Amino acid sequence: MSKYKVFVMRHGEGAWTKENRFCSWVDQRLSEDGVKEALACGHLLKEAGYQLDVVFTSLLSRSIHTAWLLLEAMGQEWVPVVRTWRLNERHYGALIGLNRAEMALNHGEEQVKQWRRSYDLTPPPIDESHPYFLEIYNDRRYSTCDVSKEFLPKSESLKDVLERLQPYWDGTIVPEIKRGKLVLISGHGNSCRALLKHLEGLSDADIVDVTLPTGTPILIELDENFRPTKPMQLLGDQKAIQAAIRKVEDQELL
Ligand SMILES: O=C(O)[C@@H](COP(=O)(O)O)OP(=O)(O)O
């Protein structure tokens, strides 16, 4: 029997999703479609009668704006929004800013798929010569983290994301859920995949086939031991959701 419910969602479409570039820790805003997606999620949850108690986001604007828009559409703007770097998108290292299809031209589609979806492959790290290095590491938000700047990642596999996310899930989010709070996590494609791997008990091989569309709330129902009681549910029009998943999967195609 389900004791707890939690929503996990990837933010609305970001400006660089449209340009097919690895965005990762670069702070791009939502595209016009991304704004519409976030509002539509809010309407969907409102119509279903949900009342949120707390929303967790990353430190990146696209995840925070998604939370704000969703809460506005629900008429629940007062609900606390808690930000943490531990929900940031996976750090794509030297791949940040690069176009996926161009990468496939140079390295092959299979290599790009491996970089994007494998569990324990870490892309080459970012270094100071990278065009976005200073923009990321000189940003004041990263002085507010619970680890000092020099220990923040320079590249991450999905496994690394789960390792930095899990202590926050266990220590901060789970206690809120246990207190009976309805929690929504407005995260990113890969921070949400890491969390779903953990919650759904997916194998390293199975997580490779999980791709998340933007702006789609995923409802997870858990028993008292935080084990799923039913398959996760992507809420909304199922045909549109499948099309949106295919669109993300096809980003590395030539
Ligand atoms: O970093 C990015 O560009 C995407 C994920 O890229 P893929 O893993 O799908 O290539 O993250 P998000 O848009 O969810 O913040």
Q: What is the pLDDT of residues 172-214, one digit of tens each?
A: 999 999 999 999 999 999 999 999 999 999 999 999 999 999 9
Report the binding-site residues for substrate. 62, 89-92, 116-117, 189-190
Alpha carbon nearest to ligand 1 atom 15, residue: 188
Domain count, the chain: 1
Rounded distance from Cα 51 to ligand 1 centre (Å):
28
Rounded distance from Cα 223 to ligand 1 centre (Å):
30
- Which ligand 1 atom is at minimum distance from the Cα of 252? 10
Domain containing residue 171: CATH number? 3.40.50.1240
CA distances from 147 to 27, 77, 136, 153, 216 (A): 20, 30, 15, 10, 31
Alpha carbon nearest to ligand 1 atom 7, residue: 116
Residue 62 in contact with residue 189, Cβ under 8 Å? no
> Which one from 13, 37, 89, 252 is the annotated catalytic residue?
89
The backbone region for 10, taken as left when phi is positive above 0, alpha when psi lies in -120 to 50, beta otherwise, is beta
Alpha carbon nearest to ligand 1 atom 8, residue: 116
Confirm whether 89 is a catalytic residue: yes
- Which ligand 1 atom is at minimum distance from the Cα of 117? 8
Ligand 1 neighbours, Cβ below 6 Å, are: 10, 14, 17, 22-24, 89, 92, 116, 188-190, 248
Q: Supply the range of the domain harboring residue 178.
A: 4-252
Tell me the torsion sign for CA atoms 13, 252, 93, 134. negative
* Mutation test residue for ligand 1: of 8, 59, 92, 107, the one with most atoms within 8 Å of CB: 92
pLDDT beneath 70: ranges in the chain = 254
* Mutation test residue for ligand 1: of 190, 214, 245, the one with most atoms within 8 Å of CB: 190
Rounded distance from Cα 178 to ligand 1 centre (Å):
30
Confirm whether 224 is a catalytic residue: no
pLDDT score at 14: 96
What interface predicted TM-score (ipTM) does this complex get?
0.96
Residue 12 phi/psi, 5-degree rounding, is -65, 165
- Which ligand 1 atom is at minimum distance from the Cα of 16? 3
From the list 172, 171, 177, the residue with the least C-alpha distance to 225 is: 177
From the list 168, 143, 144, 164, the residue with the least C-alpha distance to 153 is: 164
Strand-pair partners of 185: 8, 56
CA distances from 69 to 12, 64, 122 (A): 10, 9, 33
pLDDT score at 33: 96
Residues 6+ apart with CB under 8 A from 171: none
pLDDT score at 69: 98
